[in-house]
Amino acid sequence: MKREDTNSTTSLQRAAAGSNAGLLRCFLQGSFHLFVISILCSLCVSVLDLVNPRIIGYAVDTVIGSDAQLPLVFQLLPGFSRLFAGVGTAALTVCVLALAAALFRFLAGTFNAKGAETLVRRMRELLFSHLLRLPCAWYSENQTGDIIQRCTSDVETVKNFVSEQLTQLFRTILLIVLALVFMSGISGELTLLAFAFIPVIVLYSLFFHTRIGVAFQKADEEEGKLSSIVQENLTGVRVVRAFGREAQERDRFETKNRSYTELWVHLMKLLSAFWASGDLISGLQVMAVVVVGAVFCVRGRLSAGDYIAFITYNSMLTWPVRSLGRVIAEMSKAGISIGRIREILLAPAEEAREEGAKPDLHQDITFSHVSFRYREGSPEVLTDVSFTARAGQTLGILGGTGSGKSTAAELLDALYDLPRGSGGIRIGDTDIRDINRHYLRENIGFVQQEPYLFSGTLLHNLTLASPAATKQDVLEAARISCLDEAAEKFEEGYNTVVGERGVTLSGGQKQRTAIAQMLLKNPAIMIFDDALSAVDAATDAKIRRELQKKSKGTTVLLVSHRITTLAGADRILVLDHGKVEEFGTPEELYEKNGLYRRIYDLQAAGREEENAG
């Protein structure tokens, strides 16, 4: 299914490292020609639209019997002028031209839409596949909402920039050039008069829009503040009520609302003034053309038909020219969005280690002198940790919050990379940094404390990592993980839709689903990272009993802060603040009278209390 091979990824990274324009060119692969075709079709539309007024002008001249002149193109066609004798033919030609223009207009729009959608799909897919290759560390440093915003609204901004602003810019410039040709064919002086206004209008609106952009941004920020007052009030509704602060909250909101409203009203005043003065300038331009044109007619320098044609041309230019300034001013927004997208694409991906070793994983796992911190400068989570988990045995890892027990598990699954020089983790004789990453993860089953379920059915989630699993396999895995009782309670059984858009599963149900999901993968190493914390004691025990039967020959790492969960482990590693506190069989540790024993005693406090009382 992978459409992007590694080669194009590196070229993408190269493009991302370059300029905004370079990255945009890379995005435009596969859609560039569509935009070109669209612009060419627009060119045809403009030509056809511009021919029309000449025909009408000619027809009018014929009608009033003045000296009619056909455009040069038509004069070259033999017999054409005779054809134009009647208004009927002129009307018919208008219809034919309108049909042709409609066809090209349709094609221009269609190709533009095709280009836009192709462009946006390419951007999304590049982003998505890159996101899938980024390391977990990157995700913990970036906020979900921000990433999503970059992948959705920033992508949309870039799309609009290309498919609307850039193409509109091209179209408008083409139209202006073509109109210049057609209009100067009628009257050079009048054209000069009409075009004299264009730079004024464009510069004026460009100036205005760059200025107003700042005001808009300020209003947006104000809106953000107002919106967060609402958000805070609603999420903190209990605090507001419990402290009896309703009146103050209302006042705070109304004050902010007032200043936000005033900001907008001020902005509206500016905008109205801008629109009105724009109306005035283009109104004056039209008036000037009408009046001077009329004078030209009276002096005999212009026929009535030419006069009409010229005024029509002039009116065709008004709106495109007026929006040109806005288009140019808004183009700067796209630069910001491309920059934000680029930041994601520039983040270095995980090394896939495709050439890496694929050793048998049914071997001893050795941590030697492992030290690890999540980020440069943050405190060490593991310090000089060494231990061995024997192949086929169960190793329990016990520790409190912040002891580093989950980190050890994450390092083994290569979710985080242990930097060279901070110790090593080996499976058999192979350092895991030399193992093919995909192979490693495929053969290690990792159940997290808060498993993530994808939207889809329960069955979809169970077989995600093992598409070849049979119904029989699924039922067996569900039985072992005690998911079967829960699944049977659902109306739709295993076809129940779960995740965000479906039934919300309880923490325990999620954990049991994740366990079944992992069992179906049939991994060589199983890691349970506090994966039974949300199931009740009886089920916990039952699942562990069943697992023990199933996991013969599998190396199991059981991470927990509950002694009872670790009861069946062959050996137990006790971690405290990232350091190995104790390591041995449960019996040895109990005798040792150390941290394990203290936790053991505390957790058995119920009994103790009772005996004492």
Partner 1 sequence: MKKQNKERSLRFFGIPRLLPWLVPFRKRMLAMVILGVLSSLVDAVYPLFNRYALDHFVVGKTLGTLGIFLALYAVVLILQVLDNYVTTYWCGKVEMGVDETLRNAAFSHLQTLSFSYFSRYSVGYLHARIMSDTETIGGLCAWHLMDIVWNGAYVVCVLILMFVLNAGLALRILPLVPIAALFIWFFQKRLIALNRKIREANGKITGDFNEGITGASTIRSLAIGDTIQGHFEEDADEMRSLGIRAGRTSSLFVSTVTMFSMFALAVVLYQGGKLTLSGLLKVGTLSAFMSYAVGMMEPIQNLIHTFSQLIAIQANIERLTDLLQVKSDVTDTPEVIARYGDVFHPRRENFEPLFGDVEFRDVSFHYPDGEEMVLSHFNLTVPRGMNVAIVGETGAGKSTLANLVCRFYEPTSGQILIDGRDVRERSQMWLHSNIGCVLQTPHLFSGSVRENLCYGKPDATDEEIWQALDIVSAGDVVRRMEHGLDSEVGEGGDLLSLGEKQLLSFARALLSDPKILILDEATASVDTVTEKKIQDAIRKIIRGRTSFVIAHRLSTVVDADLILVVRDGKIVERGTHRELLRKHGYYRELFTRQFEETAADLA
Query: Which residues within the stretch 44-103 sit at the binding site for partner 1 (CB under 8 A)?
Result: 52, 56, 59-60, 63-64, 87-88, 90-92, 94-95, 97-99, 101-103
DSSP secondary structure code for residue 584 in this structure: E
User: How far is residue 261 from each of residues 117, 175, 210, 270, 481, measured CA to CA in Å?
Assistant: 37, 40, 22, 14, 58
- Residue from the set 67, 76, 452, 553 that interacts with partner 1 by CB under 8 A: 452
- Give the E-state strand segments of 440-538 in sequence order: 444-447, 456-457, 497-498, 525-529
Nearer to partner 1, 76 or 401 (CB): 401
Tokens encoding 578? 């990232």
Contact indicator for 342, 127 with CB cutoff of 8 Å: no
Q: Residue 208's closest CA among 325, 361, 112?
A: 325
* CB-CB neighbours of 276 under 10 Å: 10
Nearer to partner 1, 176 or 304 (CB): 304
Query: Which residues within the stretch 144-163 sit at the binding site for partner 1 (CB under 8 A)?
Result: 144, 147-148, 151-152
* Span of 68-76, 360-368, 419-427, 459-467 interacting with partner 1 by CB under 8 A: 459-467
Rule CB under 8 A: is residue 562 a binding residue for partner 1?
yes
First to last CA, the chain: 66
Task: Tell the residue number behind the tokens 């299914």, with chain if given.
Answer: 1
Rule CB under 8 A: is residue 496 a binding residue for partner 1?
no
* Span of 107-115, 320-328, 421-429, 482-490 interacting with partner 1 by CB under 8 A: 107-115
Nearer to partner 1, 21 or 128 (CB): 128
* Span of 174-182, 228-236, 360-368, 427-435 interacting with partner 1 by CB under 8 A: 228-236
Rule CB under 8 A: is residue 401 a binding residue for partner 1?
yes
- Residue 354 burial (C-beta neighbours within 10 Å; 0-12, 13-18, 19+): exposed
How far apart are CB 229 and partner 1 at their closest, in Å? 8
| 190: Cα separation from own chain's centroid | 51
Rule CB under 8 A: is residue 502 a binding residue for partner 1?
no
- Residue from the set 37, 40, 70, 131 that interacts with partner 1 by CB under 8 A: 131
Count of residues touching partner 1 (by CB under 8 A): 154
| Total count of residues recorded for the chain | 613
How far apart are CB 571 and partner 1 at their closest, in Å? 18
Nearer to partner 1, 441 or 550 (CB): 441
Contact indicator for 373, 379 with CB cutoff of 8 Å: yes
* Span of 7-15, 440-448, 469-477, 549-557 interacting with partner 1 by CB under 8 A: 440-448
Tokens encoding 9? 């990824």
Rounded to 5 degrees, φ, ψ at 580 are: -75, 120
Rule CB under 8 A: is residue 377 a binding residue for partner 1?
no
- Residue from the set 21, 33, 360, 454 that interacts with partner 1 by CB under 8 A: 454
Query: Which residues within the stretch 3-32 sit at the binding site for partner 1 (CB under 8 A)?
Result: 3
How far apart are CB 439 and partner 1 at their closest, in Å? 8
Cα angle value 590/595/601 (rounded, 5°): 60
How far apart are CB 542 and partner 1 at their closest, in Å? 14
Query: Which residues within the stretch 247-276 sit at the binding site for partner 1 (CB under 8 A)?
Result: 247-250, 253-254, 257-258, 260-261, 264-265, 267-269, 271-273, 275-276
Contact indicator for 139, 350 with CB cutoff of 8 Å: no
Rule CB under 8 A: is residue 442 a binding residue for partner 1?
yes
How far apart are CB 550 and partner 1 at their closest, in Å? 19
DSSP secondary structure code for residue 150 in this structure: I
Rule CB under 8 A: is residue 459 a binding residue for partner 1?
no
* Span of 72-80, 186-194, 357-365, 451-459 interacting with partner 1 by CB under 8 A: 451-459
Nearer to partner 1, 235 or 421 (CB): 235
Nearer to partner 1, 178 or 464 (CB): 464
Rule CB under 8 A: is residue 541 a binding residue for partner 1?
no
Instruction: Provide the b/e sequence for 287-324 (b: ≥16 CB within 10 Å).
Output: ebbeebbeebeeeeebbebbbbbbbbbbebbbebbbeb
CA distance 242 to 257: 24
Cα angle value 567/572/574 (rounded, 5°): 115
Rounded to 5 degrees, φ, ψ at 393 are: -105, 170
CA distance 222 to 220: 5
CA distance 215 to 293: 41
How far apart are CB 189 and partner 1 at their closest, in Å? 17
How far apart are CB 495 and partner 1 at their closest, in Å? 18
How far apart are CB 538 and partner 1 at their closest, in Å? 10
Helix (H), strand (E) at residue 585: none
Query: Which residues within the stretch 179-218 sit at the binding site for partner 1 (CB under 8 A)?
Result: none
Tokens encoding 189? 């002086």
Query: Which residues within the stretch 280-319 sit at the binding site for partner 1 (CB under 8 A)?
Result: 280, 283-284, 287, 290-291, 293-295, 297-298, 304, 307-308, 311
Site string for partner 1, 587-606 (x = CB under 8 A): --------x--xx--xxxxx
Nearer to partner 1, 120 or 547 (CB): 120
| Pairing mode, strands 571-576 and 394-398 | parallel
